[in-house]
Amino acid sequence: MEALVFWILAIGLTSAALAVVFHRDPVAAAFCLLGVLLLMAGVFAMLQAFFMATVQILFYTSAVMALFWFALKQVNTRTEKKQSLPWVKLGLVGIVTVLLGGLYFRILGKLPHGDTMLNRGDESTTWTPGRLGELLFNTYLLPLQITVLLLLAAVVGVVQLGRHAVMGNLAKSDFNADKGLESEQKRS
């Protein structure tokens, strides 16, 4: 049963990830990314990390997908111009990827306890949110604070970037208005 669920999730994840890379339309790619994130939450739940699966769905999927959706609405989502596939580049990328992947799988083959079955044994070994929180607010308090500071910096940076984008637009339209005025004056 576990094997069946794993293979379904694995095949779904791989095909959705491939669709993210190879789909021409960014909106469709965003939907495939949504699928990847949700299936990944399923894999987390298979590994008894139920809290992480919940966080993945509640925060990661909702926040990131909302951001992506908003950004896709802001920029022009017309499909890229149809052009012939860059075969040389595709080949080079394929070679690099296969080499790196081969190296990775070789290392996996030499992993000492790689053949441990993860879901054998009693199920009481799940990490509860309470224990995670205890660890987070005692041992990992400093990294937590640094992350909070990073999030604050991100918020400030995004606000600043947004303001500049709007002001840049205004300056451009002012410039165009001035040019229009000048050409009108010339014409008169």
Site for other proteins in 73-102 (CB under 8 A): 74-76, 80, 86, 89-90, 93-94, 96-97, 100-101
- Residues 46-75, interacting with other proteins (CB under 8 A): 47-49, 51-52, 55-56, 59-60, 63-64, 67-68, 70-72, 74-75
Q: What angle do CA 19, 69, 5 make, to 5 degrees?
A: 45
185 binds other proteins (CB under 8 A): no
How many residues sit in the footprint of other proteins (CB under 8 A)? 84
- Enter the tokens of residue 22: 């190879």
Q: Are the beta carbons of 49 and 127 closer than 8 angstroms? A: yes
- Enter the tokens of residue 69: 């959706």
123 binds other proteins (CB under 8 A): no
Residue 162 phi/psi, 5-degree rounding, is -65, -40
- Judged by beta carbon, residue 90 or residue 177, the one nearer other proteins is 90
- Residues 5-24, interacting with other proteins (CB under 8 A): 6-7, 10, 13-14, 17-18, 20-21
**First-residue to last-residue Cα distance in the chain:** 83
- Residues 152-181, interacting with other proteins (CB under 8 A): 154-155, 157-158, 161-162, 164-165, 168-169, 172
